[in-house]
Amino acid sequence: MWFRRKSKADPAETIRGLRQHALTVSAADLGLGPTADRPQVWGVVMETGYPEAVATLVVLGEETTSLYFSNGGGVIGAGEHAAVRAAGEILLASAEQYLDGFTVTAATPLPRVGQVRFYLRTFTGTLSAKANEEDLGEGRHTLSPLFHTAHSVITAVRESSGG
C-alpha cells in the first residue's frame, strides 16, 4: 500500500485567504451592527508595501486583530489580548472621522513598495484610500493620524506576541 504525505498548505496562500476574508466578510456574518462609537465603520485594513512583502493589519469590530505578511507569517488572533483589543477599538472609532478621505471601491489591490492602502469596512460597503508611507509617517497627509493610530495597534500586537 502506498502512502502519500499530506501536502502542507503554502503559508503565502493561507495569508491571501485570510486577507480576502477580511475584505469580503459581511458585518452581518460577524454579528455586527452600528453602535454609538462606530455608526459606520466596523473594520479597518491597513496594508503597507515593503520590498520583501506586504504587511497587512486587520482590525474588525468583533475583536479580531491580526497582523500578517504576504510572504507567509504574522500574528493571528492578537485580539485575545486586552491591550490589543483596546488599541483596536480606538482605531475603529477614530476611523469614523476620516470617511471623507475615502472613496467607495470594489477592487482591493495590494500597495506598491512605499505605499499604504487603507480599506474601511463600513455598513454600506468598502472604502479605500492610499498614500505614501513617508508622507503618512511624517504627518504630511490628512490620514497621518489614522496611520499612527493603526501603528499603535501594531505595537500592541508585537508586545502581546513577544515580538
- List pLDDT tens digits, range 83-95: 999 999 999 999 9
Give the pLDDT score at 1.
Answer: 45
What sign results for the dihedral spanned by CA atoms 145, 146, 147, 151? positive
pTM, two decimals, is 0.93
Residues of the chain with pLDDT under 50: 1-2
Q: How far is CA 143 from CA 6, 21, 100, 121, 140, in A?
A: 46, 25, 10, 16, 9
Q: Which neighbouring-strand residues pair with 44?
A: 59, 120
Burial class of residue 67 in the structure, from the number of CB atoms within 10 Å of its CB (0-12 exposed, 13-18 middle, 19+ buried) = buried
Give the pLDDT score at 5.
Answer: 53
Q: Helices 82-95 and 144-160, interaxial angle, to 10°? A: 170
Helices (H), 25-143: 82-95, 133-137
- Each domain of the chain, given as residue ranges in start order, spans 11-21+35-160
